[in-house]
Amino acid sequence: MKKILTTLFVISCGLAYGQSSLKPKINAAADAVEKKVITWRRDFHEHPELGNMEVRTAKIVADHLRSLGMEVQEKVAVTGVVGILKGGKPGPVVALRADMDCLPVTERGDLAFKSTVSTVYNGQKTGLMHACGHDSHVAILMGVAEVLSSMKNDIAGTVKFIFQPAEEGVYDPTLLKNGKSGAELMVMEGVMENPKVDAVFGLHISSVTEVGTIGYRSGATMAAVDEFSIKVNGKQTHGANPWGGIDPIVTASQIVMGLQTIISRSVNITENPAIVTVGSIHGGIRQNIISESLDMIGTIRTFGTEQRDLVHKRINDVAVNIAESAGAKADVIIKTGYPVTYNDPALTEKMIGSLENLAGKSNVQVQPVQTGAEDFSFFQQKVPGFFFFLGGKPKNVKVGFPHHTPDFYIDESGFTLGVKSLSALTVDYMEMNAPKTTDNEASAVGKKGKKN
């Protein structure tokens, strides 16, 4: 019995530092699937699809999961795919997520698998591009599915593979379902239930951090995102006689500058950053006509409920009062978007050892909060979750090309670390949370192991 307890103690200590007994199998299987992952990624990159239009991508994913013997659900939240892998032993349910959609960006690089797909978006012709790395997320998770399926009998629990549409939003409003899309809609349709998920993990490739590294943060990690629209109503007149009307363009210019004082004068940025950005202004039709009205839209990023409420109130106050002072009228609409991406502190602390064991402790670093946003946060609202960043910048490049730009580029040599990371987090979590052995069961094990 003493020997058994000693063995259990050693195993538990090993697990605390990311030493699952399945690690050698995971590493070997991930290395073996590397070429497939790269091939999948290149195919998805060459054939990008916008939110809730990922029909081709979803079919490839579903076919792959079925070939691995999984139970597969399609058309979840319009085009989402969910695969369920039931391990050979009892244990918790772990969800792994990858987003599938692209962006309305015209690719500028000269890759052999460069996207040449185009569309009309907001009345303008544009190319389509995986300019945020979602193609790599899908390919990596397909690799994880293959790795974990190969050791199905050794897995102590169930893995739910979530391939999510529309992380970047839906560009065709007719494709919304009940006014929702993406992770929020998947949660509404029950993706975290049947079987009920205990923890969720996800990653995001990063073009600005070096390949072979992993970044993370406990607690608030990425910002809550909201959008605002402001319509400024003035009075039309001849451009040569501005005193005869009320100029919405001059008024809007003052509003834009006023909005910047919200961050510099109303928000305590020593506690959390915040962002208010006007992204688009449209007004007027001719050089010598002062228009009747003007429209502007923008984005808001915050990291706390009180801060979020404050910024929303100040946007309304600034716009309305500046417009009134000019004799104009401002109508403000604020739409709430994704909540803060929040890494459960207890879960984060437990799982960091898994990543350090794979990448090396010096290559796993705490990052500052990110003012980008992620609808992975909707999954984290239901169960404890951990979201981390996988380095994708080539080692010989000083500064990587930013996400959402025509020159966005990812070093594919980092994909295997992504496959290993998600696989290791899954099995480590399962073994840490395996069903406890009762006293009677432990006694039975002891008697069985005792020599007569």
Active site residues: 101, 167
Contact 143, 33 (CB under 8 A): yes
Residue appearing with tokens 């909005």: 259
DSSP E strand stretches across 307-379: 329-336, 341-343, 364-366
Which amino acid type is present at position 451?
A: K
Cis before residue 195, ω within 30 degrees of 0? yes
- For residue 427, what is the enclosing H or E element? helix 415-432
Cα 438 from Cα 91, distance rounded (Å): 15
Q: DSSP state, 300?
A: E
- For residue 73, what is the enclosing H or E element? strand 71-76
Cα 144 from Cα 74, distance rounded (Å): 19
Contacts of 78 by beta carbon, 8 Å cutoff, 6+ apart = 52, 165, 166, 175, 177, 181, 185
Per-residue tokens: 18: 């990311």
Contacts of 289 by beta carbon, 8 Å cutoff, 6+ apart = 236, 237, 238, 239
- The gap from C-alpha 245 to its chain's centroid, in whole angstroms, comes to 47
Report strand pairing: 89-99 vs 118-121: unpaired
Per-residue tokens: 8: 């259990």
Cα 250 from Cα 285, distance rounded (Å): 15
- The gap from C-alpha 246 to its chain's centroid, in whole angstroms, comes to 44
Cα 117 from Cα 56, distance rounded (Å): 13
Contacts of 445 by beta carbon, 8 Å cutoff, 6+ apart = 4, 437
